[in-house]
A = this chain, B = another copy of it.
Amino acid sequence: MDCLFCKIAAGEIPAQKLYEDDEIMAFLDIFPATAGHTLVMPKAHYADLPETPDGLLEKMIRAVRKLSPAILEGLGSQAFNLVVNNGKLAGQVVPHVHFHIMPRYPDDTIKVNIPQQPYPEGEIELVKQKILQALEK
């Protein structure tokens, strides 16, 4: 398969690895949003988060928990964003599931604008029903 991250997993493309075991890998993004921008992925190819087996997601989130304090301490950051872009419309570029850990700095260039406003009257109950109905399928 012509997947960039599969090639990194296979060692065909070199990476600055922070963690690796039989199933997952964490490495520095070579085009970082901020210094220390890290990607955590399974070695096996899964296109997105819902396709990825629970056991691998569990290993990935444990890796985030272990690595993130070291990224912050090593680079003098006080905060980070963990982001998964799932699907093209959400900004997913490489169709091989991965978590972004982006340490934040007071002068970094990340700009996130997520306006939040209340639902129209009665709408939240409808939204809940639609989701619960889909869950029951």
Contact = CB atoms under 8 A, between A and B. Distances in A.
A62 B69 contact: no
Nearest to A126: B35
B131 A71 contact: yes
A70 B70 CA distance: 35
Interface of A, secondary structure class, is mixed
B117 A31 contact: yes
Contact of A33 (B71, B90, B116, B130): B116
B65 A50 contact: yes
Given A50-B69, A65-B54, A134 B74 contact: yes
Contact of A65 (B57, B68, B89, B115): B57
Interface string A57-99: 1101110111111110111001111111111111110000000
Interface of A: 16, 18, 28-33, 35-38, 49-50, 52, 54, 57-58, 60-62, 64-71, 73-75, 78-92, 102, 104-106, 109-119, 123-125, 127-128, 130-135, 137
The 7 closest A-B pairs by CB, nearest first: A79-B87, A74-B134, A74-B130, A79-B90, A79-B89, A82-B84, A70-B134
